[in-house]
Amino acid sequence: MKIGFIGLGIMGKPMSLNLLRAGYQLVVTDLSKAAVAELVVAGAEAVATSKAVAERAEVIITMLPNSPQVKQVILGEQGVLEGARKGSVVIDMSSIAPLVSREVAGILAGHGIDMLDAPVSGGQPKAIDGTLSVMVGGPQDVFERCFPVMKAMAGSVVRTGDIGAGNITKLANQIIVALNIAAMSEALVLAAKAGVEPERVFKAIRGGLAGSTVLDAKAPLVLDRKFNPGFRVNLHIKDLANVLETSHELGVALPLSAAVMEMMQAIKTGGQGDEDHCSLVKHYEKMAHIEVRRSQC
């Protein structure tokens, strides 16, 4: 099976490499010539447009920043729709607004093209080692047909409903991650301000009810002051914007999500938008006039 992959960024490039390692033939395109060149060295075929990708592939995967880019790449000039054949499948693994997923899927269906919305969680480290969590919306038969492709990039692939359900699930995921990082930041800043070593607090609580995957992944980065991005603040702001837009459309109040959104906006304004989202701790540190780090003793 030949797979098309459009979007070779911080997530898309390692995901593409894992497809090659799994034995799939791959045709790719991206605005970054360097990323495309790296995939070509690894064995992929490069083309100039999304249309050309769709002409050569049975399954076309998109991994793009947000809703406008997905609509342009799939529906726009020289886009996927112009090149895809009847019976092709588009798997959009971007994190976008659920209503946009439904809109795009409806247009594709009118041309005999199936679609899954399949956003991922796990950040760059899990994209590299192929253990992402994939949350999928779409028809059961299309999901089953494409499951092996998605599993080549992931540790977990779960269908949560029809088109749009994948991105609703991703929004729920991003709420929980954002609030976990905020709670961790509050707790570690409190400990540091009280003169208790944050590293010891982390070790003491990680095995109890307060323990979480987020805590295990992000607390060590904060303690070591490593804020290079696994998942950028700017991207989490984008996801929370989709969360709040969707919540307003549905009439659901999400006050904690709104509060964390404002804190992340403050971090972005302070120049840390391209840092890892665990740099949210800096918002609390600034207010408390303290820094969370490992003891030098």
Positions annotated as catalytic residues are: 170
Tell me how far apart the alpha carbons of residues 257 and 236 are, in angstroms, rounded to a whole number. Answer: 11
268: DSSP letter = I
Q: How many residues does the chain have?
A: 297
Query: Side-chain half-sphere of 260: how many Cα atoms within 13 Å?
Result: 31
Q: Single out the residue of 102, 172, 164 nearest to residue 137, CA to CA.
A: 164
The set of residues, in sequence order, having a beta carbon less than 8 Å from that of 183 and lying 6+ positions away, is: none
Q: Single out the residue of 295, 274, 296, 292 nearest to residue 283, CA to CA.
A: 292
Tell me how far apart the alpha carbons of residues 239 and 241 are, in angstroms, rounded to a whole number. Answer: 5
At residue 168, the 3 state secondary structure works out as helix
Tell me how far apart the alpha carbons of residues 285 and 263 are, in angstroms, rounded to a whole number. Answer: 12
